[in-house]
Amino acid sequence: AEMGRAFVYVILGGGVAAGYAALEFSRKGISPGDLCIISEESVVPYERPALSKGFLLPEAPARLPSFHTCVGANDERLTPKWYREHGIELVLGTRVRSVDVRRKTLLTATGETISYKILIVATGARALKLEEFGVKGSEAENVCYLRNVADATRLVNVMQSCVGGNAVVIGGGYIGMECAASLVINKINVTVVFPEAHCMARLFTPKIAQYYEDYYKSKGVKFVKGTVLSSFETNSEGKVTAVTLRDGTRLPADMVVVGIGIRANTSLFDDQLTLEKGGIKVNGRLQTSNSSVYAVGDVAAFPVKIFNEIRRLEHVDSARKSARHAVAAIMEPNKTGDFDYLPFFYSRVFTLSWQFYGDNVGEAVHFGDFSDKTFGAYWVYKGQITGSFLEGCSKEEYEAIAKLTRLRPMVQDLDELAKQGLEFALKN
Ligand code: FAD
């Protein structure tokens, strides 16, 4: 291929991390023409979490340009115009086919070679397909996945054609649970199917999960737990009409939403960079095993200082903050230390809203009133608070548990901790 354009900085991927990195680059002072963002998506970076929430609402749904980055962190909204005004080159709707980290070049699907001095890999993750679990049927027109705005647009169309009908949601994680809530709000009958004993199995305790499952049930959602999808029944048009589960249950379906996990998009670098925990391994400066290449967001496995361990997180807050930190490390190397990140996850469904900080290891100590709207839990590991969860509280109260988790205080008496509950965080 012919030699194409050359940039000082290239961001590969145009998702959440790319948007936050772009804002940070502009604040640190780049010149027009220095930075290029290459994305397979045809729109500029946006707040991906909106796709399973506001985007799916039946009334006044969120639509671009309203949720471009960086509105999710109460920051500037970066529209296409903003990128133009800042001289940031956008190569949208373009897949990068290969990267040569030794020669510092990328080859796009359109045949252009783009070179960089510094590359930030922000390729995020892709939804796992049913086929990867030995089930056929992903291509049916009423089977939906949800990762990008194209998926979400398709999901909305399918959903609108199913009002009053039945949806089967495969998976009890974030995507499954948030979509189930949205489908119900759209007046669709929902059954959620997952193999674990309760929803959000990687994070929730059985007691926390019970609260949310009861709430969903009160909205009409059904759960089929401890089993998985085995096959689809389809009609002559190739549409799914029912799903069969491994336990023999048959569920009629006008649509199916699949949320069975993600894989980080590392494949361009599998033979070129050091990988760990399914992601690209980086140091505290978000720098990979090649010093000209950084990785941020869902694709990065980075040292989480307070746990003294390399982790790959799949959450928007870590995408935003790792992106900013990488840019600071690139632009102000002497002023920038190691990324010191406290893991933070959240979700909002119906009128519920929870936040989690830290790590859910050790013993869970529940507090508050689980029959009411506000409750929580601390996780105590080796005598220290390492994680905390809170539902239905104020900004100050969430900040209090975040601060507490960062401090990791020793606790002796778990009964006393349960009794004090949120007070323990507020007085610390
Ligand atoms: P992404 O935002 O996925 O961006 C990756 C970009 O890279 C995409 O634009 C992709 O097209 C592009 N790309 C990949 N490969 C190539 C290639 N070869 N060539 C060109 N471009 C490429 N997190 C929370 O904490 N709370 C939530 O409530 C929440 N809700 C979510 C809801 C949904 C529906 C989804 C899908 C995710 C949600 N998340 C949530 C997770 C959060 O959105 C991600 O952690 C975040 O988007 C990661 O940012 P990223 O920039 O690393 O990757």
Which residue is closest in CA terms to ligand 1's atom 29? Answer: 49
Strand partners, 115: 6, 105
Distance 97 CA to ligand 1 centre (A): 19
- Per-residue CA distances from 64 to 46, 109, 194, 251 (Å): 8, 26, 32, 35
| Nearest in space to 325 (alpha carbons), one of 9, 25, 8 | 25
Which residue is closest in CA terms to ligand 1's atom 18? Answer: 96
Which residue is closest in CA terms to ligand 1's atom 49? Answer: 16
Distance 412 CA to ligand 1 centre (A): 40
The token pair that represents 304 in the structure block: 């989480």
> Is residue 372 very low, low, confident or very high in pLDDT (cuts 50, 70, 90)?
confident
Distance 54 CA to ligand 1 centre (A): 16
How does DSSP classify residue 253?
A: -
Q: Is any atom of ligand 1 closer than 6 Å to the C-beta of 168?
A: no
Mean pLDDT of 8-32: 98
* pLDDT value at 34 more than 70: yes
- For 383-427, strand residue ranges (E) read 384-391
Q: Which atom of ligand 1 has the smallest separation from the CA of 18?
A: 51
Distance 114 CA to ligand 1 centre (A): 23
Mean pLDDT of 192-206: 98
Mean pLDDT of 320-327: 98
At residue 1, the pLDDT reads 46
Tens digits of per-residue pLDDT, 150-170? 999 999 999 999 999 999 999
- Per-residue CA distances from 381 to 318, 332, 357, 408, 425 (Å): 23, 37, 14, 10, 17
Q: Is any atom of ligand 1 closer than 6 Å to the C-beta of 216?
A: no
> Is residue 333 very low, low, confident or very high in pLDDT (cuts 50, 70, 90)?
very high
Give every CB contact of residue 244 below 8 A, 6+ residues apart in sequence. 229, 230, 231, 232, 233, 250, 251
User: What's the gap between Cα 111 and its chain centre?
Assistant: 31
How does DSSP classify residue 130?
A: G
Mean pLDDT of 302-317: 93
> Is residue 308 very low, low, confident or very high in pLDDT (cuts 50, 70, 90)?
confident
The residue to mutate among 94, 123, 314, having the most atoms of ligand 1 within 8 angstroms of its beta carbon, is 123
Which residue is closest in CA terms to ligand 1's atom 33? Answer: 49
Single-letter residue type at 76: E
| Nearest in space to 312 (alpha carbons), one of 157, 46, 109, 121 | 121
Q: Which atom of ligand 1 has the smallest separation from the CA of 299?
A: 52
ipTM: 0.99
Is 344:318 a contact under the CB 8 Å cutoff?
Answer: yes
At residue 55, the pLDDT reads 98
> Is residue 373 very low, low, confident or very high in pLDDT (cuts 50, 70, 90)?
confident
> Beta 105-108 vs 250-252: how paired, if at all?
unpaired
Distance 279 CA to ligand 1 centre (A): 14
Residue 10: enclosing H or E segment and its boundaries?
strand 3-12
* pLDDT value at 331 more than 90: yes
How many C-alpha atoms does 273 have within 13 Å on its Cβ side?
Answer: 32
* pLDDT value at 113 more than 50: yes
- First vs last C-alpha separation in the chain: 61
Q: Structure pTM? A: 0.97
* pLDDT value at 305 more than 90: no
The residue to mutate among 10, 174, 322, having the most atoms of ligand 1 within 8 angstroms of its beta carbon, is 174
At residue 2, the pLDDT reads 56
Which residue is closest in CA terms to ligand 1's atom 31? Answer: 49
Q: Is any atom of ligand 1 closer than 6 Å to the C-beta of 225?
A: no
Phi and psi based region of residue 172 (left: phi greater than 0; alpha: psi -120 to 50; beta: remaining): alpha
What does pLDDT average to over the chain? 96
Q: What is the CA radius of gyration of the chain?
A: 22
At residue 73, the pLDDT reads 96
User: How far is the C-alpha of 19 from the C-alpha of 11, rounded, in Å?
Assistant: 10
* pLDDT value at 198 more than 80: yes
What percentage of the chain reaches a pLDDT higher than 90?
97
